[in-house]
Structure 1
């Protein structure tokens, strides 16, 4: 997996396997998923459960590519992924946010309250819930230049 904080991942035909250290919020006990890039830049993803009979699917977007200025405190998530301190490279940890394709008024929104962190080296992931006033349904920026306030 080569998810880059600045440019995403180069998509290919293969799904990347991702194992969560704890179940995603509200999705039962599933821990193992595939992550597939859906765009040419590798900044929009489909996350699907690999559990037999499960139909869980979420859409995620790379925060650095779609939410300018989003820098959530992720130390707890890094610790859960076994990363001590600051990652060696910005490319080691990808911060993804859940995309709600049809939010209020039909506009797409993203969940900035509970980002998903993916260790691109180990393929381990965790969803964390942030303290503070982070929007659950922030408008998806139409371009990388839009800042979420």
Structure 2
């Protein structure tokens, strides 16, 4: 499938890289379809490119290379909404913010995707987690 992205240009993606977020993302409730585009060769960084709005793309990362102690606990309602029967089917990504002096990750509101159904949602975790945690060096 060929997608258009203001950020990335025209990108060819496999249909298995299309993710559905039925509730949208925080602040973007009407944007529900995204393509997961590798942003490097090491499967650490990804672009989450909206299929509904070519101008909308988010940079995300797998959190564990930077935050090895990170252990998000999903509520029962989030697990039910994602139909997660096996925790091993969950893919977790944290949205990144890039500023002049730091790259930070939102640990409080990760994206959780059921890798089998490719359905995801942005969850808000319980606890005192930062929305702008500086990335540690790998």
Give me the TM-score of the superposition, normalised by structure 2.
Answer: 0.81
1:1-30 CA-to-partner distances (Å, cap 9, x unmatched) read: xxxxxxxxxxxx625100013110012411
Mark the CA change 1:78 to 1:65 in structure 2 (over 3 Å): closer, same or farther. Answer: farther
Q: Which residue of 1 aligns with 2:3?
A: none
Instruction: Tell me the SS of whatever aligns to 2:43.
Output: coil
Instruction: Give the alignment's Cα RMSD to 1 decimal.
Output: 1.7
Give the unaligned 5+ runs of structure 2.
1-11
Contact 1:21-1:80 at 8 Å conserved across structures: no
Question: How many aligned positions are there?
Answer: 124
Q: Which residue of 1 aligns with 2:62?
A: 62
Contact 1:21-1:81 at 8 Å conserved across structures: no
Q: Distance in 1 between matches of 2:21 and 2:65?
A: 23
1:19-67 CA-to-partner distances (Å, cap 9, x unmatched) read: 013110012411111111111111100001111x541111110112332
Structure possessing the higher relative contact order (Cα contacts under 8 Å, 6 or more residues apart): 1
Q: Which residue of 2 aligns with 1:14?
A: 13
Q: Distance in 2 between matches of 1:77 and 1:55?
A: 28
1:80 equivalent to 2:81? Answer yes
